[in-house]
């Protein structure tokens, strides 16, 4: 219970940041915001869940996906994304997938490989999106701070992609090096062998993802683009609804940088850090009151809604004891 109260406290503090920043003028802007537009953005998130469920089924392949129904797959995605938002750095998402897919006879190696492939597709999307924004920025004014952060993000993502490629190419030397490191830590030989077997099973399962038909891999990446385009359009539509004209590319960049800051903060869902970072980037463009209103609506749709809608699904599928165990493992 204490851990749940801690999560609620973090969320309250995160909500108070834009409220204090915007003041009474922010409340006036919120009153004038279109309810139909807000419902439409909630609908975009729901479409995103269906898209992610379809992506998951494609990666599981027909044999594994046949063990879990389509509606149940959507529920699995909602529960995993709730766990992502409720734990530091999103660390609860893979654990939730392991637990849920394991109940349908899908092994840990297969689930881990699917999650890794999913993350690799996300990384590729953001890398190519950053390249497009860099090209766009060449023909538009960009502040020194945004330019530096954009270049730094691009370099980090390029480095991550190179690291993934190097690990895939030289995985055997990496396993041997890891074994030597574990030996220095005086890990028991039986434990080292067990971990090595698990790693080899994961690598085999991960390689199976690349043996899927190219058509399937193209569909997975296309669905990745659809999901993130929908989710990263929320702030743009929010600003449009508040009467501010900000290019979609800049709203995308602001969200990416703010959420990255939230990830580095190691707070659940980046609560607090994401609000502060987005306020620092958005307020100079549209003013404090508009920025505060936009941040509150944006986080309501893309963070609090995940917790409100995904929480009951998580508890229904896995139960409250596992939720407490997950929070204890991440905060202990």
* 95 or 331, higher pLDDT: 95
- Predicted confidence (pLDDT) per residue in 249-258, tens digit: 889 988 988 8
Report whether pLDDT(331) > 50. Answer: no
The residue behind tokens 């229904």 is 316
> According to the model, what pLDDT value does residue 332 have?
42
The structural domains of the chain, with segments of one domain joined by +, span: 2-9+18-331
pLDDT band at 261 (very low <50, low <70, confident <90, very high): confident
Which stretch, 60-69, 76-85, 89-98, 121-130, has highest mean pLDDT?
76-85
What would the mean pLDDT of 14-42 be, rounded to a whole number?
91
> According to the model, what pLDDT value does residue 86 have?
87
pTM: 0.86
Compute the distance between CA of residue 67 and CA of residue 64 in angstroms, rounded to an integer.
6
- Predicted confidence (pLDDT) per residue in 143-179, tens digit: 666 666 667 777 777 777 777 677 666 666 766 666 6
- Start-to-end CA distance of the chain, whole Å, equals 14
Least confident of 38-42, 177-181, 315-319: 177-181
Compute the distance between CA of residue 163 and CA of residue 301 in angstroms, rounded to an integer.
33
Is residue 18 within 8 A of residue 290, CB to CB? The reply is no
3-state helix, strand and coil shares in percent for the chain, rounded to the nearest 5: 85, 0, 15
């Amino acid at each position: 219970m204490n851990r749940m109260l801690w999560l609620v406290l973090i969320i309250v503090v995160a909500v108070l940041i834009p409220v204090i920043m915007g003041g009474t003028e922010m409340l006036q802007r919120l009153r004038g915001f279109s309810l139909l537009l807000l419902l439409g953005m909630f609908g975009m998130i729901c479409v995103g869940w269906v898209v992610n469920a379809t992506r998951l089924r494609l990666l599981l392949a027909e044999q594994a996906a046949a063990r879990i129904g389509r509606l149940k797959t959507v529920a699995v995605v909602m529960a995993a994304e709730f766990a992502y938002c409720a734990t530091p750095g999103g660390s609860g998402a893979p654990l939730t997938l392991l637990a849920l897919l394991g109940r349908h006879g899908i092994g840990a190696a297969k689930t881990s490989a699917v999650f890794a492939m999913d993350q690799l597709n996300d990384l590729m999307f953001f890398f190519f999106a950053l390249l497009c924004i860099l090209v766009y920025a060449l023909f538009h004014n960009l502040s020194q701070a945004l330019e530096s952060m954009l270049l730094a993000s691009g370099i980090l993502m390029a480095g991550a992609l190179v690291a993934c490629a190097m690990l895939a190419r030289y995985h055997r030397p990496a396993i041997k090096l890891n074994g030597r490191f574990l030996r220095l830590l005086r890990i028991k030989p039986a434990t080292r062998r067990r971990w090595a077997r698990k790693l080899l099973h994961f690598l085999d399962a991960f390689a199976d993802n690349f043996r899927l038909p190219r058509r399937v891999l193209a569909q997975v990446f296309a669905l990745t683009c659809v999901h993130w385009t929908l989710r990263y359009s929320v702030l743009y539509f929010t600003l449009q609804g508040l009467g501010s004209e900000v290019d979609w590319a800049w709203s995308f960049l602001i969200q990416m940088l703010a959420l990255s800051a939230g990830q580095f903060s190691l707070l659940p869902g980046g609560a607090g850090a994401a609000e502060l970072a987005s306020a620092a980037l958005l307020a100079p463009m549209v003013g404090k009151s508009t920025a505060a209103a936009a941040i509150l609506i944006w986080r309501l749709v893309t963070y609090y809604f995940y917790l409100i809608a995904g929480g009951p699904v998580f508890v229904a599928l896995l139960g409250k004891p596992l939720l407490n165990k997950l929070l204890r493992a991440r905060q202990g």
